[in-house]
Amino acid sequence: MSDREVDRQLVERVQHGDKQAFELLVSKYQRRLMRLLSRFIRDAGEVEDVAQEAFIKAYRALPSFRGESAFYTWLYRIGINTAKNHLVAMRRRAPAAIEQDSGDAEAFEDNIQLSDIGTPESVLMSKQIAATVNDAMDSLPEELRTAITLREIEGLSYEEIAAIMNCPIGTVRSRIFRAREAIAERLRPLLDSRGGDRW
């Protein structure tokens, strides 16, 4: 049975009054939703609050969920909209830069393969690249940051991203392309300093 089918069955159980089924959906998607929200909101406590609010909104809206999209696509849309509303209510935007913490960059560090891995120079370069990627992502306009986060970090398809962002697939492709170009532009000086090595 596919993930989507399992979710559909859980949603149907919730729609028939089974609160435990919703708890299963929460436990399945809580970490993923919080990771997504943390790309927009830096304070961990606020991320938890916004995630909880998103789940409450999802629970209240589940009776009208028709299953035209996957449950997690629908949930992510609710989460992103809740985060946007939170930021507007706080009268501030997500910070343009974050502290250089390799823990925040784990998703990118996993993909960075340096030829001389393990040397102090390569470890430092890996951290610099990860921090640069994170800084570049954080400085992107919101719609580009959302699209690239959903694609590269959450691994969603263009169709799923289009459903979450409520826009055509062509727009999603354009936003992801522009985000990748902006990140590559920030990385170019670092990579050029390595004497033409490729990662």
Q: What is the pLDDT of residues 130-150, one digit of tens each?
A: 788 888 888 899 899 999 989
Backbone angles phi, psi at 111, to 5 degrees: -95, -5
Residue with tokens 């962002």: 165
Q: Where does the pLDDT of residue 193 fall: very low under 50, low under 70, confident under 90, or very high at 90 and above?
A: low
pLDDT in tens, 77-91: 999 999 988 888 886
Q: What mean pLDDT is predicted for residues 41-45? A: 86
CATH of 102-192, one of 3.40.50.300, 1.10.10.10, 3.40.50.10240, 3.50.50.60: 1.10.10.10
Q: Does the global pTM surpass 0.75?
A: no
How is the chain split into domains, by residue range?
A: 3-89, 102-192
Is the CATH code 1.10.287.1770 the one for domain 3-89?
A: no
Residue with tokens 């921090």: 131
